[in-house]
Amino acid sequence: MPLEVFCMKKSAGTSKAGTGQHVEQRREPRRAAGGEVRFQFGAGMARSDGGEVRGKVLDRSAGGFRAQHDCSRLTCGQIVEFRLMSSRGLARVVWTRILGDRVESGFLILP
């Protein structure tokens, strides 16, 4: 799927304009999750300050996860190296939402 199309789907699950109705567009069911996630990104998969980004997993699906963290620099399409308690690998940032000092991102786990 072209990156431009992929990034445009970041608003999936939002309400219909002006109706207040929620339209669920997720392809896989989500389940609540907890625990820590760590990830690195950028050239050589190392954060520019030499550290890892640490976050909290909010939910998971078969193909991805949503996490809360403090890194507002993540952008749609960016590839990160992640580590969860039960798995590790590469993931693509699907969306990032910044609400005050809270940052959430959705990740698609890559094969």
Residue 101 sits in a domain whose CATH number is: 2.40.10.220
Q: Is the pLDDT of residue 7 over 70?
A: no
Tell whether pTM > 0.75.
no
Does residue 4 belong to any structural domain of this protein? no
Does residue 7 belong to any structural domain of this protein? no
Does residue 14 belong to any structural domain of this protein? no
Can you tell me the mean pLDDT for 37-48? Answer: 71
Ranges of H-type helices in 1-111: 3-8
Distance between CA atoms of residues 77 and 92, nearest Å: 6
Query: Residue 56 is part of which domain span?
Result: 29-109
Q: What is the pLDDT of residue 103?
A: 96
Does residue 20 belong to any structural domain of this protein? no
Can you tell me the mean pLDDT for 87-94? Answer: 95
Q: Is the pLDDT of residue 4 over 50?
A: no
Does residue 10 belong to any structural domain of this protein? no
Q: What is the pLDDT of residue 80?
A: 94
Residue 3 φ/ψ, nearest 5 degrees: -60, -40
